[in-house]
Amino acid sequence: MRSFTLIDFVSLFAALRWTIALVVLAIAFGAPLALGLAMGRISRFTGLRWAMAGLIQTIQSVPLLGLLFFFYFGMPVFLGIQVPAILAVTVAYTLYTAAFLGEIWRGGLEAVKQAQWEAGACLGLSAWQQFRHIIAPQALRLSLPPTVGFLVQLIKGTSLASILGFVELARAGQVVSAATFQPLLTYALVAAIYFALCLPLTLWSRSLEARLDGSR
Amino acid sequence: MALVEIRDVHKTFGKVEVLKGVSLDVEEGEIVTIIGRSGSGKSTLLRCINALESVDTGEIRVEGRHVHARMPDLKKFRQRVGIVFQAFNLFPHLKVERNITLAPLLTGRIDKARARALAEDVLARVGLADKIDAWPEQLSGGQQQRVAIARCLAMAPHLMLFDEVTSALDPELVGEVLKVMEAMAKQGMTMILVTHEMGFARNVADRIVFMHQGRVWEQGSPAKLFANPETPELASFIASAK
């Protein structure tokens, strides 16, 4: 046993890199996929709608831990290929993000009145122009609070990656706590760091909401 | 050749046959008002004219071109046919100016440098030049509807369709919208209106079309139709509308 020192402090912050890296990877790959899923869900092609709904439903009903296990431990078993840990977590978090953000954004898109599409169509705009300039901006504002809510979930959800050996914030906390025998201090610090990560997001979302809603 | 030719159009929603063989011609420059009870198919007919609804059988031609949802130049066609809705349908996330200039810019009708001037011009025509920088929800219903009309005018349409455009307005706001439409009529715009405003129909329309149960029941000049309705259905409709 030793006392809590600057080294421990630094190691917690160093581990924060992984937390952030995982979030960035999940968003970078998951968000475009989510947009595709959301658009597929509101498509006029029934088959596509069903396929997207099935995909989302499947991913959503598997626990995130299950996804991580599946891609890291399951792939070698089922397909006989050893997947690097970083690839496994990226795929798992990407799918997780895509499924949940996709549903959030679909809700936003559907909340914009059908008549708005029609008004655009009547002015001679293409379907893409209607989406890009009329529907998406309105849907974005409607979806912002749940989107940021999901981001906060995602940040905390990265702690599960420790299962596959990633020393991210939560895992680093465990290590430091075990070494220093000061769990209360350590976990309070870990909690404070998570809080410091999530609070600006929430504040940013509020200001963005106000700005996007220029009319009020 | 009439500007709009409607030939024996049938349209069914589910099990309800809304249009049961409608034929109607509208000449260039003509103001045609469609009246009738709710459910008589007036709005559906209007929506078929710019392919918002597709017809089951029959044919609609505008400027000689067959109108349907998969016509090759549907977007171009819709730029020439303006439609104004009961619910205004302004884009709430855009200021008045952008509401008006969005479509002309995206369709390449005008360039950025001319956009503001275009918005000013069409807003002046509906008497709202001072609202160019307002948000839609800062406007009254009547003002929103006039912006919606201006938005159509910005596309320089050859034909304007009005679908019960005053029905969602408070009574004291109806007049300002009708005045704008009357001015457009005087400038020679071809207009087809579905309306419950009998006074407007009587004073501005060249021809009134009474629809009943999915058919054109009776049509003619306002003077004739209001004074001497031939069918009991029209007579009772006129009586109830008073």
Residues B55-112: tens digit of each pLDDT: 999 999 999 899 988 888 898 999 999 999 999 999 999 999 999 999 999 998 899 9
Structure confidence at residue B242 (pLDDT): 67
**CB A215 to CB B85 under 8 A?**
no
Degrees, nearest 5: CA angle A206-A133-A40: 90
Burial B89-122 (b: 16+ CB within 10 A, else e): bbbbbbbbbbbbbbbbbbbebbeeeebeebbeeb
User: For residues B200 and B206, is the Cβ–Cβ distance under 8 A?
Assistant: no
Structure confidence at residue A165 (pLDDT): 84
**How much is the average pLDDT of A91-98?**
96
**CB A126 to CB B91 under 8 A?**
no
d(C-alpha B52, C-alpha B13), whole Å: 14
Residue of B nearest to A113 (CA): B89
- Which amino acid type is present at position B185? A
pTM of the model: 0.84
d(C-alpha A66, C-alpha A74), whole Å: 10
Residue of A nearest to B150 (CA): A123
Which of A15-24, A63-72, A152-161, A205-214 is predicted least confidently? A205-214
Structure confidence at residue A208 (pLDDT): 82
Structure confidence at residue A101 (pLDDT): 96
- Which amino acid type is present at position B134? A
Strands B215-220 and B57-62: unpaired
**How much is the average pLDDT of A182-192?**
90
Length of chain A: 216
pLDDT of B152 higher than 70: yes
**CB B85 to CB A134 under 8 A?**
no
**CB A122 to CB B82 under 8 A?**
yes
Degrees, nearest 5: CA angle A120-A126-A128: 100
**CB B92 to CB A138 under 8 A?**
yes
List CB contacts (< 8 A) between B162 and chain A: none
Candidate from B79, B106, B151 with C-beta closest to A133: B106
How close does chain B come to A116, measured CA to CA in Å?
A: 6
Degrees, nearest 5: CA angle B17-B22-B26: 145
Q: How many CB atoms lie within 10 A of CB A57?
A: 11
Beta-sheet strands, E only, within B112-182: 159-163
- Which amino acid type is present at position A201? L
pLDDT of B240 higher than 60: yes
Q: pLDDT grade, residue A168 (50/70/90)?
A: confident
B142: buried, middle or exposed (CB in 10 Å: 19+, 13-18, 0-12)?
buried
Structure confidence at residue B154 (pLDDT): 93
What are the φ/ψ torsions at residue A167 (nearest 5 degrees)? -90, 80
Radius of gyration (Cα) for chain A, nearest Å?
A: 21
**CB B135 to CB A138 under 8 A?**
no
d(C-alpha B242, C-alpha A17), whole Å: 75
**CB B155 to CB A126 under 8 A?**
no
List CB contacts (< 8 A) between B160 and chain A: none
List CB contacts (< 8 A) between B75 and chain A: 124-126
Degrees, nearest 5: CA angle A133-A139-A144: 125
Question: Hey, of A112, A113, A118, A123, which one would you mutate to test binding to chain B, going by the most B CBs within 10 A of its CB?
Answer: A123
Residue of A nearest to B105 (CA): A125
The rounded mean pLDDT for chain B is 91
- A contact residues 99-128, partner B, Cβ 8 Å cutoff: 113, 115-116, 118-126
Percentage with pLDDT > 90 across chain B: 63
Structure confidence at residue B216 (pLDDT): 92
List CB contacts (< 8 A) between B79 and chain A: 123-124
Which of A120-124, B50-54, B128-132, B169-173 is predicted least confidently? B169-173
Structure confidence at residue A6 (pLDDT): 84
- Which amino acid type is present at position A192? A
Strands B190-194 and B31-35: parallel
User: For residues B241 and B196, is the Cβ–Cβ distance under 8 A?
Assistant: yes
pLDDT of B136 higher than 90: yes
Q: pLDDT grade, residue A214 (50/70/90)?
A: low
How close does chain B come to A146, measured CA to CA in Å?
A: 19
